[in-house]
Structure 1
Amino acid sequence: MSDRRRRPLTARGLGALVLGVLFTIAANIVSAPILVYVAVLLFILTAFAVLAVYVPRRSGTVTRQVSTDLLTVGEESRVAVRFALRSLRIPHGLWRDVLPDAVTGSASGEYPPDSGVLRYPITGVRRGVWPVGPLILRTVDPFGLAQREQAFGDTRTVTVVPEVIPLAPLAAHWGAAGGTAHTASSRLGQGSDNLSPRHYVSGDSMRRIHWRATAHRGELMVRQEEEESSPDAIVVIDRAAGRWARADRGVDPAFEAAVSACASIALHLATEGYSVDVVDSAGSVIGTLRGHEDDRDELLVALAMLAPRGEARDLATIVGGTPPGPLVVITGRIGAADHSVLHHGGAAVPILLATDPAPEVITAASASGWTSAVLTDDISASWELALPERMLSGGGRVPR
């Protein structure tokens, strides 16, 4: 807890002091002692007001709960603040929670609240990890002459992740088998659920005996789990500093669209049955999607903190051979000289999305086997234009 630097007197309190000084001067000029008494009364009231708000010792604890672990850009969530104030008396005033520019919300109200809990909505505006707090309590004396603001508690971080946009299915444009998972059987130990029987081996749990298969074959059979594996897909987001606006110019809408597109495409491919690797233009792995519950959140958190930096490497080096499934590259400002972006290494389905490509890049990409489109704020439309079936004979379609 700490007192914030704010003038101790309200506008009314300053007016009372000024009026007291004027009465004192007027009393000497017009020889009216009554004005001196009035001035002294104003001074005493002002001093009493300051003492009333600053003398009481106050301390408190603050805990915050956000209704969602990860706040998506454009999504509304609710914050519940439990504020335990220790003081001689419960003050009446106004509270507000300090919010970063990346989050909007009506984080203020009257204190004490009727419910005992301070609640307010917040909406994600810009991705990143941002501090919320501290809690500010502003109290004013009964005469409205003095005021006091105090900050209570520490900050709590809120992670704002990029928006995930629904996309058209890739399988419908490339082939129904594109993302269909295939199975590979392997023997697993005790505790696995079975999908097919196999012969009993020493160490298998009796609970896993497949009694129907045992009766049919006349020998002990146990349940065997079939592991599912999926075709691989690679999503590359080009974060090379030269592709995007300079960091000192503020938020780059093109890069924000690229990050949102990266999250949307990666999660979309995962739902179509692919094992997805998300890497940046330097070859660093940002996230992987293998069907685990935490994969999605880990990828979104990593993308929430992504920023342009460094130089781009040759795409073939990043991919490391021929990708077995779709290869999606998301980039920014590219020209005809950026040949490294167009080396897809023989991928079966290479898709290129660029926010600011030179006209000849689309033609060159088409000649190299890419399907491509300009990435705009309408990520869903850009994705559909880049799908293989949507490609024009002379090159990728560019949204107007």
Structure 2
Amino acid sequence: MTTAGAPGPVDESDGKGGLRAALSGLTTRGRSFLAAGVAATVCAYALGQGDLLRVGLLLAALPLVCVTALYRTRYRVAGSRRLSPSRVPAGSEARVHLRMDNVSRLHTGLLMLQDRVPYVLGPRPRFVLDRVEPGGVREVSYRIRSDLRGRYPLGPLQLQLSDPFGMCELTRSFSAYDTLVVIPRTEPLPALRLAGEASGYGDVRQRSLALAGEDDIIPRGYRHGDDLRRVHWRSTARHGELMVRREEQPQRARCTVLLDTRRIAYQGAGPGSAFEWAVSGAASALVHMLERGFAVRLLTDEGSAVPGEGADGFAGSSQESADSAGLMMDTLAAVGHSDGGGLSRAYDVLRGGDEGLLVAFFGDLDEEQAAVAARMRQRSRGAVAFVLDGDGRAHGSGAAPSASGRLRLLREAGWTVVAVPPGAELARLWQQAGQEGAGAQYSAARPSVPGTTTGF
């Protein structure tokens, strides 16, 4: 039997290796018949019983005939798999659709279809397919679900072919694999405004118009297709060539989401652990800020960002927000603990430029790492920190004095700090961060200046 699947068909029915594989496919029934036939033949030869000899030969020949017939069968079957969807949040179900096409000119026998899936996705699905006519199609589907985020391989598909007497079973495998991506759960977050010095498209656009008018006064050379109404005649006369005014390009507000993945900063494991809460919180913040029109970057304590982003490390234009969110979610689906003990690499990345708004999800911070985190605020126009301790207890009431001091250090550096109690909803903490940040900015500087708030 030949099974065809991407990439390319697989033919395992030729050669001595295929014959040995066919003999090894004898079922318990086939081996029993063969053993009984050999025993009867030996006894008949020893006792001189002709009738018993014929029975023994029949018993021994039947499984061998089934093996030969099954081995020489030339089925060509094409298989495909489709995931719907291929990226799901943890705890949600995905459906896998399997399609089998008989591309040969013969009817197939009884087929058993089996797909390999990781243990955490559930039991291995098996389907029995009746005879498939030439050119016929059979479609089946099954559901998979995981409470743990990650990237899970599916496949390869396996077909099991058996003879009508159940003497022999041959298994053929396709070569195609698929990957199910289980991303962290996300929560819808309220649209708030945090005190800062940068904004999104709208406010920056208004300030640019107020200062420089509708157009930038710096001209550039004329290009084919430019509107002639934008010709800047004074520059044209000065340069001796046709010059046009540049259109004002609205600046896009930036946001960096920092995820602390240090192993020593968290305790516990599983879907309800503090680390999984931090990963889910970072995912929720990324999606929310992209929906708000921000250019977003995901950063870890190791200083690594999501591959495939813009040249400056931030997500691309608003039309690419869905793709950017997909890249970041794929990264968060597979992110694990880092063995590093500090935040210095992330600080080196953050101090390299203007980061806009900084949203951080920290684990347990000692005095040294709290000082490093405090310095991160210097390159950000606004900073919000959600802090968990190692075992998920809040740094709030009942926290150790040293832990309260480390959080106070962040607040004195300009951070808006929110202590995360176990089982807290991120939406409520997000609301709290907005209220605390706005109150701190209002008390620090009066009167407030219009257009100096950052929406998040």
Relative contact order: is structure 1 or structure 2 higher (C-alpha 8 Å, sep ≥ 6)?
A: 2
Which of 371, 378, 387 is matched with 2:433 structurally?
A: 387
Contact 2:262–2:338 (CA<8 Å) still a contact in 1? yes
Other-structure match for 1:300? 329
Contact 1:70–1:158 (CA<8 Å) still a contact in 2? no
Distance 1:198 1:277 in 2: 29
Answering whether residue 44 of structure 2 is matched by residue 37 of structure 1, we say no
Give the stretch that moved more between structures: 267-276 or 70-79: 70-79
TM-score if structure 2 supplies the norm length? 0.64
Distance 1:17 1:45 in 2: 8
Distance 2:424 2:139 in 1: 37
Which of 161, 178, 200 is matched with 1:157 structurally?
A: 178
Contact 2:184–2:333 (CA<8 Å) still a contact in 1? no
Contact 1:140–1:146 (CA<8 Å) still a contact in 2? yes
| Residue aligned with 1:285, SS | coil
Contact 1:330–1:353 (CA<8 Å) still a contact in 2? yes
Distance 1:49 1:254 in 2: 59
Distance 2:197 2:365 in 1: 33
Answering whether residue 88 of structure 2 is matched by residue 66 of structure 1, we say no
With over 3 angstroms needed to count, the CA separation of the structure-2 counterparts of 1:230 and 1:88, relative to structure 1, is: same
Which of 119, 139, 155 is matched with 2:161 structurally?
A: 139
Other-structure match for 2:405? 364
Contact 1:231–1:324 (CA<8 Å) still a contact in 2? no
**Equivalent position amino acid for 2:58 in 1:** L
Distance 2:300 2:34 in 1: 63
Which of 377, 387, 409 is matched with 1:345 structurally?
A: 377
Write the deviation string for residues 18-42 of structure 1: whole angstroms up to 9, x where unpaired.
4435645776898865444333221
For structure 1, the residue ranges without an aligned partner over 5 or more in a row are 188-195, 211-221, 392-400
Tell me the C-alpha RMSD between the 2 structures: 4.5
Answering whether residue 199 of structure 2 is matched by residue 168 of structure 1, we say no
Which of 300, 303, 309 is matched with 2:338 structurally?
A: 309
**Equivalent position amino acid for 1:70 in 2:** R
Alignment of 1:1-400 (within 5 A): 1=10, 7-20=24-37, 23=40, 34-58=51-75, 60-68=77-85, 70-73=87-90, 74-81=92-99, 83=101, 85-86=103-104, 89-101=107-119, 103-104=121-122, 107-111=125-129, 116-123=137-144, 125=146, 126-152=148-174, 154-169=175-190, 171=192, 174=194, 180-181=200-201, 182-184=203-205, 203=222, 227-243=249-265, 254-286=274-306, 288-290=314-316, 291-293=318-320, 294-311=323-340, 312-314=342-344, 316-320=347-351, 325-335=356-366, 338-340=369-371, 342-343=373-374, 344-346=376-378, 348-354=382-388, 356=390, 359-360=399-400, 363-368=404-409, 369=411, 370-374=416-420, 380=426, 383-384=429-430, 387-389=433-435
Of Structure 1 and Structure 2, the greater strand share is in 1
Identity %: 20
Give the stretch that moved more between structures: 275-284 or 122-131: 122-131
Distance 2:197 2:98 in 1: 47
| Residue aligned with 2:327, SS | helix
**Equivalent position amino acid for 2:385 in 1:** I
Of Structure 1 and Structure 2, the greater helix share is in 2
TM-score if structure 1 supplies the norm length? 0.72
| Count of aligned pairs between the two proteins | 370
Other-structure match for 1:215? none
